[in-house]
């Protein structure tokens, strides 16, 4: 029997499978209230995820398609309003249940269906990890040309996998270091960019030919962190001790820190005409002093990707230790990074923005209708024994959201996708979820 939390902070004993512990990061069970953590213990883990060079580069890609600075900032504001709403909702669900994304997906997509979704998430995080490996190699090579990109990328992949193996404790420490360094060099980079532009007024007067529709640059903004907002949030925020902690962490990370990173890339792109932060820092003479900051914040993000992926893989390969799964993930991601997936970074963000809002919409609708209506979650043991292998209507809702994202041109694609998936899931749940309620009678979790 394992302990599982409820929204009032109480603990209810429920059956689960198989037994896990703090050493295994509770990869196959709910995090008990005795292991929950406060704001400062979690915020630097999440900030470490968003304080990364890849977000600076995403900001450059936003500016590349924008008319001017105000146009780019408006796109970021719209995109991150969407992300904050998604992130806070998912964080609240994960805090109340104490479950990873992979385990939450069992209730929505079924036992085997959740594995398919979790593997899809793992593939996207694998892409992020590989990009981050290559970025460390690229930045190091730009500063020290004698060091080849590929060997450095491999070394980076090994080191990032190691710290992910150590769990949230060391991830929090590295995230703290990265946060301090990036704030210092980020502010310095913005100041130097404005000076090189001829001052604030000269910078604000910079205009360029619009190369992308406004919806598209909003999509890039959403894609920059949507994977984390939907799939990585549960793996961290399940450790939150209460709802206010979960909300505060998401507001700071998505409302302040991530937009700050995008801002560095936006300003650099408009002034220097480069979306690659390594070129921007080199033009400012900061690449040398900022090298450690860049490596630290890339590292903090990549280790989060590896950590979260090991949680999703543990949902699929239940008999394999999480540590072994993480090592395999790190090895594959490192090898993939040597092929230069970084060149397709903009397309990768657009792909993420087209998939994950629909997944989030289905999870949110399922939680608030199917399970909140019954005020309880079935135990994981009952899910394994009694739940369908596939909950087909959840996949239909998700697919509909993805299709709408690609076919409906009015409004914002991300909003269209999540609303479509959410509404369809509510409709299907009102018709079919009665069958699931029958499974709640024994071994249930009250919350």
Tell me phi and psi for residue 48, to 5 degrees: -60, -30
pLDDT digits (tens, 9 = 90+) for 20-42: 555 566 777 788 888 898 898 88
In a domain, 320, yes or no: yes
Using the predicted structure, report yes or no on whether residue 346 has a pLDDT greater than 90. no
The reply to whether 373 falls in a domain is no
The 10 Å CB-count burial string (b at 16+, else e) for 307-322 is bbbbbbbbbbeeeeeb
pLDDT band for 267, please (50, 70, 90 cuts).
very high
Share of the chain above pLDDT 70, in %: 82
* Token digits of residue 319: 């008999």
Nearest-angstrom CA–CA distance, 9 and 5: 6
- Quick one: pLDDT band at residue 16, thresholds 50, 70, 90? very low
Residue 250 CA to residue 281 CA, distance in Å, equals: 29
Q: Judge whether 29 lies within some domain.
A: no
Longest distance between any two alpha carbons in the chain, whole Å? 70
Does residue 199 fall inside a structural domain? yes
Task: Pull the structure tokens for residue 317.
Answer: 């390969």
DSSP structural state of residue 341: G
Per-residue pLDDT tens over the stretch 102-120 = 888 888 898 888 888 877 7
> Residue 14: which pLDDT band, with cuts at 50, 70 and 90?
very low
Partners of 14 in the β-ladder: 2
Give the model's pLDDT for residue 8: 36
Burial 195-232 (b: 16+ CB within 10 A, else e): eebeeeeebeeeeeeeebebbbbbbbbbbbbbbbbbbb
Range of the domain at 304: 36-344
The Cβ of residue 61 has, within 10 Å, a number of other Cβ atoms equal to: 24
Q: What is the CATH number of the domain that holds 176?
A: 1.10.4160.10
139 within a domain of the structure (yes/no): yes
Average pLDDT rounded to a whole number, residues 65-81? 93
In a domain? residue 374:
no
Q: Which residues of 75-91 are buried (b: 16+ CB within 10 A; e: fewer)?
A: bbebbbbbbbbbbbbbb
- The answer to which of 58-62, 74-78, 160-164, 370-374 has the lowest mean pLDDT is 370-374
Q: Work out the average pLDDT over 293-297.
A: 78
Whether the pLDDT of residue 433 is over 60: the answer is yes
**Residue 92 belongs to a domain:** yes
The count of structural domains within the chain is: 1
Q: Is the alpha carbon torsion for 380, 86, 8, 30 positive or negative?
A: positive
CB atoms within 10 A of CB 23: 9
With respect to residue 322, please indicate whether it lies within any of the assigned structural domains: yes
Mean pLDDT, to the nearest integer, of 232-247?
A: 90
Q: State the alpha helices, DSSP H only, in 317-344.
A: 322-337
Give me the percent of the chain exceeding a pLDDT of 90.
21
Looking at every residue in the chain, the average pLDDT score rounds to 80
Cα–Cα distance between 360 and 366 in angstroms, integer? Answer: 10
- For 137-157, what is each residue's pLDDT tens digit? 888 887 788 999 899 999 989
């Amino acid at each position: 029997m394992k302990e599982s939390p409820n929204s009032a902070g109480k603990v209810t004993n429920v059956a689960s499978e198989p037994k896990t512990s703090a050493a295994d990061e509770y990869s196959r069970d709910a995090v008990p209230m005795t292991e929950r953590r406060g704001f400062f213990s979690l915020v630097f883990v999440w900030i470490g995820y968003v304080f990364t060079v890849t977000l600076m580069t995403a900001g450059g890609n936003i500016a590349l398609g924008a008319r001017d600075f105000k146009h780019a900032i408006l796109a970021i504001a719209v995109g991150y309003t969407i992300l904050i709403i998604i992130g806070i909702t998912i964080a609240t669900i994960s805090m109340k249940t104490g479950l990873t994304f992979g385990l939450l997906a069992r209730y929505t997509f079924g036992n085997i269906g959740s594995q398919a979704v979790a593997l899809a998430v793992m593939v996207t995080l694998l892409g992020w990890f590989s990009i981050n490996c290559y970025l460390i190699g690229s930045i190091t090579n730009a500063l020290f040309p004698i060091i080849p990109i590929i060997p450095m990328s491999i070394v980076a992949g090994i080191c990032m996998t190691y710290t992910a193996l150590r769990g949230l404790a060391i991830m929090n420490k590295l995230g703290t270091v990265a946060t301090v360094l990036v704030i210092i060099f980020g502010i310095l980079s913005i100041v130097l960019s404005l000076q090189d532009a001829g001052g604030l007024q000269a910078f604000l007067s910079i205009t360029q030919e619009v190369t992308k529709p406004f919806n598209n640059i909003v999509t890039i903004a959403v894609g920059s962190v949507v994977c984390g907002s939907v799939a990585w949030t549960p793996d961290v925020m399940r450790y939150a001790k209460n709802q206010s902690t979960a909300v505060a962490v998401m507001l700071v990370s998505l409302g302040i820190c991530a937009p700050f990173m995008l801002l560095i890339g936006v300003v650099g792109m408009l002034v220097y005409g480069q979306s690659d932060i390594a070129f921007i820092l080199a033009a400012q003479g900061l690449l040398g002093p900022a090298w450690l900051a860049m490596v630290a914040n890339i590292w903090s993000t990549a280790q989060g990707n590896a950590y979260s992926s090991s949680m999703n893989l543990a949902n699929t390969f239940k008999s394999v230790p999480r540590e072994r799964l993480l090592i395999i993930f790190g090895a594959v991601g490192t090898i993939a990074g040597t092929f230069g997936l970084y060149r397709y970074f903009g397309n990768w963000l657009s792909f993420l923005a087209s998939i994950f809002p629909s997944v989030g919409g289905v999870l949110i609708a399922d939680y608030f209708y199917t399970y909140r209506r019954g005020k309880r979650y079935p135990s994981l043991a009952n899910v394994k024994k009694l739940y369908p292998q596939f909950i087909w209507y959840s996949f239909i809702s998700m697919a509909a959201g993805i299709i709408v994202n690609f076919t409906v041109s009015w409004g914002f694609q991300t909003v269209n996708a999540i609303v479509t998936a959410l509404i369809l899931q509510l409709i299907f749940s009102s018709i079919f979820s009665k069958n699931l309620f029958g499974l709640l009678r024994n071994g249930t979790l009250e919350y």
